[in-house]
Structure 1
Amino acid sequence: MNASPLSPAQPQSGQPQTGQQQGSTLYGGVTNRRVTVRDLAAAKQRGERWAMLTAYDALTGGVFDEAGIPVLLVGDSAGNCHLGYETTVPVTMDQMVMLSAAVVRGTKRALIIGDMPFGSYQESPAQAMHNAARLMKEAGVGAVKLEGGERSARSIELLVEAGIPVMAHIGLTPQSVHAFGGYPVQGRGDEAAHQLLRDAKAVQQAGAFSVVLEAVPAELATQVTEQLAIPTVGIGAGAGTDAQVLVWTDMAGMTAGRVPKFVKQYADLRAVLGDAAREFATEVGAGTFPAPEHTFK
């Protein structure tokens, strides 16, 4: 899509910008509208990198929105980190509509992208159209994401023709975990690298406004980024992509046990919440909570 970009979102008059926000057009505080896919296209032209996080509820979505994160993905990764599934495969359309609507309600500025779960678009472009329309109409998202390169190109074309912005997702596609036999790095070797490039060009040609590159060698991801006019979003794809995404529970240290190599934990919220819960239980047991200041008279 080569539409002329809108004027990028700017903070309202009097809203300060600090740190990384200074001089940036995607990062910032309060604005008078949501970030759009045309803002992301403009960022690609400027060479501006941007961050995307997942969100699955109004509360955390609002926190990330206030922090200036320009794009929030309501990912089917909710299956792993919130719904207790081992993979993303069991996640349903009804669940994605509910979670996406919550994030939309909790935010004001970020572009909200709703994930298309397994079984919601693979059957046919018509099926993809029906379910993408549900995310737009019932949840109010600004775009949808679906997995697959060349195999998903016709569905992407139909959605874009209908006015639904689409983020594509190639490389490691978690909904294909059973076919992959796990979560291996994709694009290694000449044949696999050429296929990844074909997939990237196919989704761009179909009209996708952006493409996620997951678990791809950094050199290959950089090559794809240089050859595409649309923004690339890396996750385990090195620093050469236009944007980066992480699952928020990984990023914030909520995930128990081992996390993927590409994850950087910027906090240890699991420890913070655990300590708070233990302190609460201790005070209840000792009779020190509720104290007089927490009691009605």
Structure 2
Amino acid sequence: MHTRRSFLKTSALYSAGILAAPAIPSFLSAGPVIGLQLYTVRDFMAKDPKGTLAKVAQIGYNSLEGATYNDGKENFYGMDPKTFAGVLKNNGLVMRSCHYRLGEDSSGATLTNGEYKGTILHDWDKAVADAHSLGLQYMICAWLSPKERGGLDHYKKMAAEFNVAGEKCKKAGIQFCHHNHDFEFDPQSGKSGYEVLLSETDPQLVKMELDLYWATKAGKDPVKLFDAHPGRFPLWHLKDMDNTPKHSFTEVGSGTVDFKRIFAAKAKAGMKYFFVEQDQCPGSPFDSITKSITYIRQNLV
């Protein structure tokens, strides 16, 4: 983990403009900003990231959220920030945010020199510097492994760590957020871990990327969350829930989530960007994201 001295040095570079982020390119295709979380096409990104990004752009997505960085290699799909930025620009794409891990255990992260590199708790300074170089606006805590969840006291400890991570992001002109699943809403002694994260973090340093599917599955009304914490939810994940006992993932507009009602409250939420994400698809994920973007264009933007 970097020292305070190294962090202050990096912060000075930001302030001096030495680590200037590249200008965000104009979209090659006109139209509303519609985002995709690349986890949806993760298998294809692993095999052919350039070809996959070209196909995503051809379908009509122009805004992206990355799904990987902290794999021990600390890069974006096998590319350094400059190379990856060039691929994005060539396809008229903007990567606005990326997902990262907390780094308390090895789930989803590779151990390097005794640390889970590229995570919030390990080598975060480099992760922030690379995000800044790529021009990211948001860095997101993506998922908490079972070992990283714990009780309410552990969530309080995590909130303090999020504040530190958020302060480092702020110095680089980046907003730190947390992306939920359903387990954060599990009640513990009359309170949930999600409530602790909301109450114990600085609202300016730590905001939320609300996953509408997982919040709904946990029995929470997104609109009521917006009412209780206005302006705290700049990012959303759009995924739908099918009308079966399993409540499985399905394409946006094909299930039971009332997206029109939720979008009507976007100003209260403080929503800036949204990203389609479908963890599991019945066939080709490209077919699923095409179906989702068609509904979004016709009904939500």
- Could you state the TM-score of these two structures normalised by the residue count of structure 1? 0.48
Q: Highest CA radius of gyration, 1 or 2?
A: 1
Greater RCO (CA < 8 Å, at least 6 residues apart): 2
- Could you state the TM-score of these two structures normalised by the residue count of structure 2? 0.48
